[in-house]
Amino acid sequence: MTRKQRRLAFLAGSMSVAAVAVTLVIYALGDATLFFYTPSEAKARNVEAGRMLNLGGLVAAGSIRHGEGFDVEFKVTDGDADVLVTYDKDLPDLFREGQGVVVTGAFTPAGAFKASNVMAKHDENYMPPEVARALKDKGVWKEGQQAP
């Protein structure tokens, strides 16, 4: 082989290895590239207990229950499914029924969602774009209208 052919073979081999590496990374990421799951998506995908993820939707009306200290339970809904969320820290000031939220945590073996962080919308006109899109797809929320 000439020097030029060796360089070309090395370049082709390197490109092949890089393509395989990129394919493996994309495959390994899988669902981890999603910003959040709606309650319906989480139930449909049978997310295993203990797996950290973000769950987004609206705080269901009449679902907030305060316990001892900072303990609180509430339901996150997307209009089709509800998920019971437990949280043991101070809630954001703007947290209330009908507001868009994204909670970070994991499902328990009993099926509840144990949150480690709760993010609520920051003003009257804001809702995380992913939450708004999912709610619009379900027909629960329309642009220009306050969240239900």
pLDDT digits (tens, 9 = 90+) for 7-21: 999 999 999 999 999
Mean pLDDT confidence for 91-111: 89
Mean pLDDT confidence for 27-46: 78
- In the block, tokens 């220009």 appear at 144
| Helices and strands counted in the chain (H then E) | 3, 6
* Spans of all domains in the chain: 1-33, 34-138
Mean pLDDT confidence for 94-109: 90
Mean pLDDT confidence for 91-115: 90
Q: What is the dihedral of CA 88, 94, 98, 100, to 10 degrees?
A: -80
- In the block, tokens 């992913």 appear at 130
pTM score of the predicted model: 0.63
The string of pLDDT tens digits covering residues 57-97 is 999 999 999 988 889 999 999 888 999 999 999 888 888 88
Query: 103 CB contacts (<8 Å, ≥6 apart)?
Result: 54, 55, 56, 76, 85, 87, 113, 115, 117, 118, 119
Spatial distance between the Cα atoms of 144 and 61, rounded to a whole number of angstroms:
21
Q: What is the mean pLDDT of the chain?
A: 84
Second CATH level (architecture) for the domain 34-138: Beta Barrel (2.40)
